[in-house]
Structure 1
Amino acid sequence: MDQELLNEQETRAWVAFQHLRIEINVVLARMLVRDFGLTEADFVILLRLSNTPEHRLRARDMAAALQWERSRLSRQVSRMQTRGTVVRAPSKGDARGYDVVLTDAGRAAFQAAWPSYVAGIRHCFADVLSTKQLDALTDIADTIDRHFTAQHYPGGLDDPAKAAGTRTTTTGIEHRTSREPLE
């Protein structure tokens, strides 16, 4: 193998990161299903639509922002449309695509779940870390994000997948990408 194996410190850090990421996501996802009947995928879409003008977004732009294949988004939107939380509507100015539009039921579902979701984040994450630890974690995430953007999005924020200026994590929380020049 040409690649050097991870050393002990790197391995411990990577395993710890993966463990926490999975555990926090599982706790939040279970809470969403148990208390609100929402899957993590439902919640991510409801979150994105709740934060857009007119509560609608072109499907291809949503797929890019979520880093999902269009077919995955289409299947998810179909499931949500059956439950009445979103509808498909013709895209304004482009008959080839469609917009995903938040319904009143979708808005109500999101508004009901959001406070508990935030409380879950506090319980599993924010309340157990000091301000200094939160700052350190933010610095680490920003460093990795800048590296990732430089390596995988050579167009920077103009790259279609980063065009929204945010990325939605698997937990549904948007992280604003840096608009500062890459180092």
Structure 2
Amino acid sequence: MDDVRWLSAEEQEIWRAYLSATVAFSAHIDRQMRQDSGMPMAYYEILVRLSEAPHRRLRMSELADVSLSSRSRLSHAVAALERNGWVERRPADGDRRGWVCALTEDGYAALAAAAPGHVTTVREHIFDVLTPEQLQSLRDIGEAISAGLRTECAAARAEDEAGADACDS
């Protein structure tokens, strides 16, 4: 343990401020989404990603990647979204192993109904409290952290795929 680069007192404060802000905001926006629209933030993110995709559909593996979810977690979420009638899963064209998730009209309507509350919460707690310079720094910080985790995240996805069945579900 002698080679551990321990955090300085200032680094410890920065880490705790970052962690406190991200955990508190994540909990707040998830609570807001559940109260206002009856769906957790993770479901909203899946619906958003599908709404932005060509023909409002994505392969399950692509949807897992863009929604930053493991395939198993995504599969459970999609099953719940299917029960609500918000998405449909079907075999991928020309690929017996692959599955596609498609946003239904009811799903698009649920997304459209949830979006105003979501955007208002994001605006009030991020964009309205930070200066333009802080917002640019926040973007830069997010991109740097994401880039630094890219290799580890790719390895985790590969492990997830190795443990999954031979299909994209």
- Please classify the TM superposition score into its range, dividing by the shorter chain length: 0.7 to 0.9
User: In the TM superposition, what whole-angstrom CA distance separates every residue of 1:141-165 from its partner, at most 9, and x where no partner exists?
Assistant: 233333333x5478xxxxx89xxxx
User: In the TM superposition, what whole-angstrom CA distance separates every residue of 1:18-51 from its partner, at most 9, and x where no partner exists?
Assistant: 1110111111111111011011221111011011
Give the secondary structure class of the aligned counterpart of 2:39.
coil
Alignment of 1:86-97 (within 5 A): 86-97=87-98
Whether the aligned pair in 1 keeps the contact of 2:49 and 2:66 (CA below 8 Å) is: no
CA RMSD of aligned residues (A): 1.9
User: Quick one: structure 1 residues 130 and 44, their matched pair in 2 at CA, closer, same or farther if it must change by over 3 Å?
Assistant: same
Q: Offset at 1:96?
A: 1.1
Whether the aligned pair in 1 keeps the contact of 2:78 and 2:87 (CA below 8 Å) is: yes
Q: 2:167 — aligned with what?
A: none
Greater fraction of residues in helix:
2
Identity %: 35
User: Quick one: structure 1 residues 85 and 23, their matched pair in 2 at CA, closer, same or farther if it must change by over 3 Å?
Assistant: same
User: In the TM superposition, what whole-angstrom CA distance separates every residue of 1:39-89 from its partner, at most 9, and x where no partner exists?
Assistant: 122111101101101101111221233343322222211111111111111
Q: 2:125 — aligned with what?
A: 124
Greater fraction of residues in strand:
1
Q: TM-score, normalising length from structure 2?
A: 0.83
Q: TM-score, normalising length from structure 1?
A: 0.77
Q: 1:134 — aligned with what?
A: 135
* Structure 1: segments with no counterpart, 5+ residues: 155-159, 162-183
Alignment of 1:20-169 (within 5 A): 20-149=21-150, 151-152=151-152
